[in-house]
Structure 1
Amino acid sequence: MNQHPDEDATVAAALDQAQRWLDAIPGVTGVGQGEQDGRATIDVWVTDPEWAERLPREVKGLTVRVRDTGGPITPQ
């Protein structure tokens, strides 16, 4: 992904905002930067896909993609 400095700042701001969902929305277990069709995305991992309804479709102009963890995550 070739990003311009402005795009890097947008992605960083979007990730910062999405990180807050870890504490605010039950079932969100992780967030990170992804890519779809050559564009940056914010990927959000959830333990139950039904939590996707509580998430915005985009943040700071970047698409939010919901990823299913396949169930609860248990520390080992």
Structure 2
Amino acid sequence: MTEETLQALIEKHTPHLMALPNVVGVGRGEEQGRAVVVVLVSRKLPLAALQPHERVPRNLEGVPVRVREVGSVQAQ
């Protein structure tokens, strides 16, 4: 996957992802040499605490998604 393709995928899905509970950012990353979408959350919650429509998907159009807890984010 090219950088441009990954960026287009992220831009396409960011509005939906940012509307999910606790999501504070979306970006790209790499895991074992493979491109991944990184979703930053203020606090990870157990799946049971979220309704199915509130959950971050495991992948977007075949690209793995990783959720990372970063705490609260404030502009400096």
TM, length-normalised to structure 2: 0.73
1:44 corresponds to which residue?
A: 39
Deviations for 1:37-61, whole angstroms, at most 9, x for unmatched residues? 1010000100111177611000011
Unpaired runs of 5+ residues, structure 2, are none
SS at match of 1:18: helix
> Which residues of 2 match residues 26-37 of structure 1 at below 5 A?
26-37=21-32
Same amino acid, percent of matched pairs: 37
Task: Look up the match of 1:66.
Answer: 67
Aligned to 1:16: 11
Paired residue secondary structure (1:49): coil
SS across alignment from 1:50: coil
Which aligned runs of 4 or more in structure 1 are off by greater than 6 angstroms?
none
State the aligned residue count. 68
TM-score (norm 1): 0.73
Say which of 25, 32, 35 aligns to 2:20.
25
User: For 2:46 and 2:21, how far apart are their aligned partners in 1?
Assistant: 8
